Amino acid sequence: MKNMLVYHASKDIVEYPEVRETRFMKDFSWGFYCTKMKDQASRWAIRGTGRGVINTYSFEPVNDLNILSFEKMNDEWLDFIAKCRAGYVHDYDIVEGPMANDTVWNYVNDFIQGIITREQFWVLAQFKYPTHQISFHNKRAIDCLVYKESEEVYG
């Protein structure tokens, strides 16, 4: 994995990222989530009411991180997200791959509940625009982020 700029959508300036356990599990379990797509971060920052903030970091990885990377949505990605959303906590420092946005998440949930088959999931998910997320799951991973700046955005 190489150095890159990543963006974290928030309602606040986040100079010092941290992993927080929340009520609901996310795609890749608990973590500090970013994206390399600034326009995606902007869309997420302005969800809800009020201003949004895009926090920018330089991601400077060290060599011995345990990283799982999904190049695209595939069966392995779908199974991993289903497990994480059901409470699975993994041992990866960083996980990177497509994001199950609201629409895709509905399809994932239908798949988990047996409402649709794996094949039906792929038919429904194939026309969704590309997304990206990279999640940092412990202090060692977060220490690879160097805060650069924050920018307010409005809907």
Query: By the 8 A CB rule, do 81 and 27 touch?
Result: yes
Among the listed residues 104, 142, 105, 151, the one whose alpha carbon sits nearest the alpha carbon of residue 9: 151
Give the predicted TM-score (pTM) of the model. 0.89
pLDDT value of position 136:
97
pLDDT value of position 60:
94
Give the chain's residues under pLDDT 50: none
Region label for 29, one of left (φ > 0), alpha (ψ between -120 and 50) or beta (otherwise): left
pLDDT value of position 128:
67
pLDDT value of position 153:
93
pLDDT value of position 139:
95
Span 64-106, pLDDT tens digits? 999 999 999 899 999 999 999 889 999 999 999 998 777 787 8
Report the distance separating Cα 100 and Cα 121, nearest Å: 12
